[in-house]
Amino acid sequence: MTIILTAVGRVRDWKALTAIRQSANRTGRLRIYRDVKDASRALIVAELSDDDISDLDADLRERVELLDDAGFTDSGVWEAIDAE
């Protein structure tokens, strides 16, 4: 099953985040969007299998200061459904 993960956070090491993206793109898809008003913030959107999403989440938590619900915006994990 494919899972969508969204996260917003402050990036401490853009090169490490780029390496995570390259690794994730081997098994799924990961896109990174930089905040145009604050270059230290990023929106991360990943589409990976259920098994791979846990590894990605752990890697992101090591390298990105994720903003929680008390932060500026929310993060979440979304599951695709077969609906039009």
pLDDT in tens, 22-47: 888 898 889 888 888 888 888 888 99
Report yes or no on 28 lying in a domain.
Answer: yes
Query: Number of folded domains in the chain?
Result: 1
> What does the alpha-carbon distance between residue 75 and residue 44 come to, in Å, rounded to a whole number?
9
In this predicted structure, the answer to whether residue 69 has a pLDDT above a threshold of 70 is no
> What does the alpha-carbon distance between residue 43 and residue 32 come to, in Å, rounded to a whole number?
6
In this predicted structure, the answer to whether residue 73 has a pLDDT above a threshold of 70 is no
Query: Where does the pLDDT of residue 70 fall: very low under 50, low under 70, confident under 90, or very high at 90 and above?
Result: very low
Report yes or no on 84 lying in a domain.
Answer: no
User: Residue 20: helix, strand or coil by DSSP?
Assistant: helix
Q: 42: domain range?
A: 2-79
CATH code, 71: 3.30.70.120
